[in-house]
Homo-oligomer: A and B are copies of this chain.
Amino acid sequence: MKPHERLAADLVAEMAAVNDLIRERMASRHAPRIPEVTAHLVEAGGKRLRPMLTLASAKLCGYDGPYHVHLAATVEFIHTATLLHDDVVDESERRRGRPTANLLWDNKSSVLVGDYLFARSFQLMTETGNLRVLRILSDAAATIAEGEVLQLTAAQDLSTTEDIYLQVVRGKTAALFSAATEVGGVIAGRPEEDVRALFDYGDALGIAFQIVDDLLDYWGGDATGKNVGDDFRERKLTLPLIKAFAKADDAEKAFWKRVIEKGDQREGDLEEALRLLERHGALEETRQEALAWAERAKTAMQKLPSSGLRDLLIELSDYVVSRVN
């Protein structure tokens, strides 16, 4: 079994409680469109990685109260809300192998149901009565939105640096991972150094996760179902492209300007882009960065007391980069 499957097996009772809570809270007495849209996404069988991170963090910290379930549902609602809005922003047509909500219903429903889930997530976290987790999760929500706006304005901009890329990645992915793990330690009342280690683990894991995702967009060819070149066609400045552009000669710079800045993409351009990424070792360098972040996640988690759950989370960081290792 893969680490996330073993995690799911270990947390089967808690995840059942999380799923019950999600189903209860996505209901709406007055607007049946809300549970329809939410169920389409929630029941599509995502891996539920983020809520599992919260449950596992709380449990390995010895938490025995009821609120890790609320926090896990909170994290999943925030994630689902951002997916609904992302698909509107990116005009996506498929998600988790199914047509997107914006395609099946409309953009309006996706925007408003996303707002509803955001509000529901704040209700859920408020029920914990823990002001520090409220601060962590509302900060994460702001960082996520900020990262998405930054990604929007950085798209098509070849002056995007690796620093900006990292900010975008922290926003769109790592902020929710690190909040998910950090609140587990906070709700359990652990000392600061453990809370910090949990944050660092989630942060590094999220960054590794997103770099792998961006790498596979050019690497592809595996069983992940990703289409090679989606980011290229959408002119997104991801790490492989930023690295290749930094080493580009004048002719190559002209190529990147045409296809990314001007968006004038022709037959054979993706293949040319892949050749340039290969020539400058951009894919291999990106791969190495993903591995380094996975290593940082491990190191952070090793600071916590040894336990079966802790070791599973350590294995999970290897698993996240296994598609490129």
Contact residues of A with B, CB < 8 Å? 28, 30-34, 82, 85, 88-89, 107-109, 111-116, 118-120, 122-123, 126, 129, 131, 134-135, 138-139, 141-142, 144-150, 152-153, 164, 167, 171
Contacts and interface: CB of A to CB of B under 8 A. Distances in A.
Contacts of A31: 146, 149-150, 153
Nearest to A127: B135
Contacts of A138: 119, 122-123, 126
Contact of A115 (B32, B120, B122, B148): B148
Given A135-B126, A138-B126, A141-B118, A148 B88 contact: no
A270 to B, nearest CB: 24
A155 to B, nearest CB: 10
Nearest to A168: B30
A107 B152 CA distance: 11
A142 B119 contact: yes
A123 B167 CA distance: 20
Contact of A123 (B119, B135, B144): B135
Contacts of A135: 123, 126
A114 B115 CA distance: 9
A304 to B, nearest CB: 27
A163 to B, nearest CB: 10
Nearest to A131: B129
